[in-house]
Amino acid sequence: MDVNKSRPKVLIVDDAPENIHVLLKALKQDYAVIAATSGEKALEVAFSDIPPQIILLDIIMPGIDGYEVCRRLKNSPKTADIPIIFVTALEDAVDETKGLSLGAIDYITKPFNPNIVRARVGNHLQLVEAMRIKDDVDRMMRHDLKNPLSVVITNPCIIKLSKEIGEIECSMLDDIELAGYTMLNMINSSLDLFKIEKGSYRPELISFNIIEKLQLIDRQLSPLAEAMDIKIKFSLDENKLNKSSFCYVIGVELLFYAAISNLTKNALEASPEGAEVRIAIKSSEVCELEIHNKGMVPEQLQNNFFDKYVTSGKEGGTGLGTYSAKLFIEAMGGSINMNTSENTGTSVVVKIPMDRCSNKESTNNASGL
């Protein structure tokens, strides 16, 4: 049995054999260590069928230097996640900053301290493994959750076909079905969020009527609004929405629904009891959607309102609502910003591209032309 197959693979890249020898001696007991004496050879090993789990990379080398090797590895989806530690005699902060800006995770300076080398490599490999396990568990949970949800979504439709079901029962089944679709959308949007964060998401942009999505959000959040004695008011170009209202945009339906649902829920939770949340749409060159509530964002959160895990005063809050909304809107080619004050409350403004052709057709159909 080859014990190296069960040990993490470490690639050492240095044109000086004596440096390779020192690092090899420090790491060979715990890792499967391979060496490359040039940037060209390092790239060949990294792009092989069995890439290294971590790379210790010298900066100053003839031919392709360490900075260029790092840049090429980070620009390729196949090798972008491999952690890179620069090993160098350079101590200038500018050199360190340049390396980190290219995607390196750490620096080890020469001459090497074997204990520090082992500790740095071990710590970074543990972090990578922890993230891999977390991602695997997340993906399995999302996949496994979809199977029972199919029963929650489809069975109410089947039961409602029975003539023995009354109006109250039908309403309850509608609520179950809506809850199932809401959970399914949450699972699907979390998968998209994962892809966006990894840089692998490719949006399939289509034309859709956002009024239909807002009506679904209103139905979904009505119980929360009623419990807080808050009214959600919608308007399109200063007119009240009705069943024939339309505003077509170019985007991704699921991402739009998830983003606006999160932002509206956030506005409800931040509103004073008995107030109202306004969702105003303006259709011009772009679709501008403003979500306003009368609460003010705490001063300590105003500068990082859209950052990950930022939350305040909400029991059980994850701090992912506004963060995911920003990523979703920007993934569709839109923009999002927030302004807040004690006098005016808080407004989150979302802008996404309009579909002028569909809006023109709908106008003609509505007017009977």
pLDDT reading at 3 higher than 70: no
Mean predicted confidence (pLDDT) in 334-338: 96
Structure tokens at 194: 């994962």
Residue 249, Cβ density class (10 Å: 0-12 exposed, 13-18 middle, ≥19 buried): buried
- Alpha helices by DSSP H, listed for the chain, are 17-27, 39-46, 66-74, 93-101, 114-159, 167-198, 210-227, 253-270, 321-331, 356-366
pLDDT at residue 27 in the model: 94
CA dihedral (183, 188, 192, 197) in degrees, to 10, reads 50
Give the global pTM: 0.58
pLDDT at residue 96 in the model: 66
CB atoms within 10 A of CB 277: 26
pLDDT at residue 369 in the model: 30
Question: What percent of the chain stands above pLDDT 70?
Answer: 87
Q: Is the dihedral of CA 60, 63, 69, 71 positive or negative?
A: positive
pLDDT reading at 50 higher than 80: yes
Answer yes or no: are the C-beta atoms of 278 and 289 closer than 8 Å.
Answer: no
pLDDT at residue 159 in the model: 84
- Residues 266-307 pLDDT 10s: 999 999 989 999 999 999 889 999 999 999 998 888 888 998
Closest alpha carbon to 320 in 328, 332, 278, 351 = 328
pLDDT reading at 107 higher than 80: yes
Answer yes or no: are the C-beta atoms of 79 and 51 closer than 8 Å.
Answer: yes
Q: How far apart are CA 249 and CA 260, in angstroms?
A: 14
Structure tokens at 1: 């049995």
Mean predicted confidence (pLDDT) in 59-76: 92
Three-state secondary structure of 183-232: HHHHHHHHHHHHHHHHCCCCCCCEEEEHHHHHHHHHHHHHHHHHHCCCEE
Q: Which residue would you say has higher pLDDT here, 272 or 165?
A: 272
pLDDT at residue 330 in the model: 95
Answer yes or no: are the C-beta atoms of 25 and 70 closer than 8 Å.
Answer: no
Q: What is the mean pLDDT of the chain?
A: 84
Closest alpha carbon to 217 in 269, 181, 260 = 260
pLDDT at residue 280 in the model: 96
CB atoms within 10 A of CB 350: 25
Among the listed ranges 71-80, 95-104, 198-207, which one has the minimum average pLDDT value? 95-104
Which residue type, as a one-letter code, is found at position 307?
D
